Amino acid sequence: MINPISNFSFNFTPFAQSQNRIKTDVQQVLTNPITRPKLPQPTTMMALLYNNISFTGHREDLVRSIGHVSCPCCGTKMLTNGDMEDISKELSKKDTAEHYINTLHPYEEYMHKTEKDVFHKFEQWGKENPKGTLSNFLAENRESSMKACKDKQSEVFAKINSIASSISSQAGEKFANLTKVYSNTPVNNEEDMKTVRKNILSDIKTSKSIINNEEKFKELKTLADSLPTSKNSTDAFIVRYAGKPSEKIGTRLVKLSVGTIEHVKPQADGGRDRIENYLLECGECNHTRGDVSLKDWVEEHPEMKENTQKYFDEVIEKINNNELGRELDNYPNAVRGALKEQSKGTLTYDTSALKPKTDERPKKSENTDKTDKSESSKKPQTHKPNKPHKPHHHHRLNLAA
Ligand SMILES: [Zn+2]
């Protein structure tokens, strides 16, 4: 007689492809209520089988617990999942402009540039329409925003044609034809704009040999990148979300600022689920980078060097102030190897501000330092670092959609 339990656990692996391999005889035993052995409850089973994944979750949570620091990629201050829950809950209570503005205002410094611009316009509009809604605001502006996007497209095409014709008559002719076709393509929504942008970007890449000039090639690419999408243009944002419920639009204004786990070495290339392979990165940068290698990404976004230093400076400050779990004490140094390897040595940063940790941590006086305790679960505040950072400019990434 077979032992159904050992047979079952032997065959059942976490891989979906193996799930069908349970032998028929075992299945019969399992489905027959008389012979069915007592198996652990599903939740226990899942915990046993997937316990490696739950450890990963723990490590990801550790890095997420760093909380409100600047995105190492774009430099935007990041929000936590807890903030997002608070915001959604608050927005769901009432949808007047007045309530939305009061709720979202404290998170303004966490918004990306486009979202911040939309919010500012909405704030202005809300002064005159306090009982209106965010959804009304977008609907009212959809038509003029659609026109603004089309104007922007014509403007970019004209610049592309001018650069192309300065390269050679062949390049000039090619891009004149392409932009003519795209100008005649009906553009009625943000999806259409994204398609045009994607096509012209791909045309530029495949015309590299005709362009035959690295500077001009980059200029053309930057121009095509600037074609409106909901990520880089207020008008395209309005076009995209007009008609959507206020709550969806309101949460969208802050959602992409939530810190997410970025695998420095992609999992597909064997990158491990360890804190030494994690960066906390805003949702927008994380989603946009896709499969672009870190080396190419740093090259396209040179501001990442400065922002990475800012990220580690802020993390180090939290470690020095004992605001983070002890497992993160060496995190700024631990992730250096992966960053160096993946960026081919172009992404370096200084961690000399990290104070060595002794076993005996100074005990925080309970009366004086209460405020640091659950920093990441609190409402965000403007954190003035103790150590002055070098002044930095707020760069806006040219984000590919
Ligand atoms: Zn970012």
Q: Collapsing DSSP states into helix, strand and coil, what is residue 179?
A: helix
Q: Collapsing DSSP states into helix, strand and coil, what is residue 251?
A: helix
**How far does the centroid of ligand 1 lie from the alpha carbon of residue 109, in Å?**
13
Is residue 246 located within the same domain as residue 121?
A: yes
Domain span at residue 140 reads 94-255
Provide the token pair at 5: 């339990």
Is residue 388 located within the same domain as residue 332?
A: yes
Domains identified in the chain, total number: 3
**How far does the centroid of ligand 1 lie from the alpha carbon of residue 76, in Å?**
6
**Residue 44 included in any domain:** no
Provide the token pair at 133: 């809604």
pLDDT given at position 380: 53
Is residue 271 located within the same domain as residue 294?
A: yes
pLDDT given at position 371: 41
**How far does the centroid of ligand 1 lie from the alpha carbon of residue 290, in Å?**
13
Is residue 166 located within the same domain as residue 20?
A: no
Q: Using an 8 Å Cβ cutoff, are 335 and 277 in contact? A: yes
Measured CA distances, 261 to 61, 216, 313 (Å): 9, 36, 18
Residues of the chain with pLDDT under 50: 1-42, 44, 47-54, 363-378, 382-401
> Alpha carbon 99 to chain centroid distance?
27
**How far does the centroid of ligand 1 lie from the alpha carbon of residue 53, in Å?**
26
**How far does the centroid of ligand 1 lie from the alpha carbon of residue 280, in Å?**
9
**How far does the centroid of ligand 1 lie from the alpha carbon of residue 282, in Å?**
4
**Residue 280 included in any domain:** yes
**How far does the centroid of ligand 1 lie from the alpha carbon of residue 288, in Å?**
9
Q: Using an 8 Å Cβ cutoff, are 312 and 332 in contact? A: yes
**How far does the centroid of ligand 1 lie from the alpha carbon of residue 286, in Å?**
7
**How far does the centroid of ligand 1 lie from the alpha carbon of residue 281, in Å?**
6
**How far does the centroid of ligand 1 lie from the alpha carbon of residue 311, in Å?**
11
**How far does the centroid of ligand 1 lie from the alpha carbon of residue 279, in Å?**
11
Provide the token pair at 210: 């005709």
**How far does the centroid of ligand 1 lie from the alpha carbon of residue 141, in Å?**
28
Domain end among 255, 277, 304: 255
Question: Strands, E, within 198-330: which ranges?
Answer: 259-263, 278-282
**How far does the centroid of ligand 1 lie from the alpha carbon of residue 125, in Å?**
28
Domain end among 229, 255, 281: 255
Is residue 112 located within the same domain as residue 124?
A: yes
Is residue 292 located within the same domain as residue 401?
A: yes
pLDDT given at position 359: 60
**How far does the centroid of ligand 1 lie from the alpha carbon of residue 12, in Å?**
40
**Residue 236 included in any domain:** yes
| Paired residues of 278 in beta bridges | 263
Q: What angle do CA 362, 366, 367 make, to 5 degrees?
A: 125
pLDDT digits (tens, 9 = 90+) for 245-272: 999 999 999 999 999 999 999 888 888 8
- Measured between alpha carbons, how far is 183 from 149 in angstroms, rounded to an integer? 12
Is residue 211 located within the same domain as residue 343?
A: no
**How far does the centroid of ligand 1 lie from the alpha carbon of residue 132, in Å?**
31
**How far does the centroid of ligand 1 lie from the alpha carbon of residue 203, in Å?**
28
Sign of the Cα torsion 199, 205, 210, 215 reads positive
As a residue count, the chain comes to 401
**How far does the centroid of ligand 1 lie from the alpha carbon of residue 398, in Å?**
11
Is residue 99 located within the same domain as residue 239?
A: yes
**How far does the centroid of ligand 1 lie from the alpha carbon of residue 256, in Å?**
8
pLDDT digits (tens, 9 = 90+) for 180-231: 999 999 999 999 999 999 999 999 999 999 999 999 999 999 999 999 999 9
* pTM, 2 dp: 0.75
pLDDT digits (tens, 9 = 90+) for 281-295: 999 999 988 878 899
- Measured between alpha carbons, how far is 2 from 33 in angstroms, rounded to an integer? 17
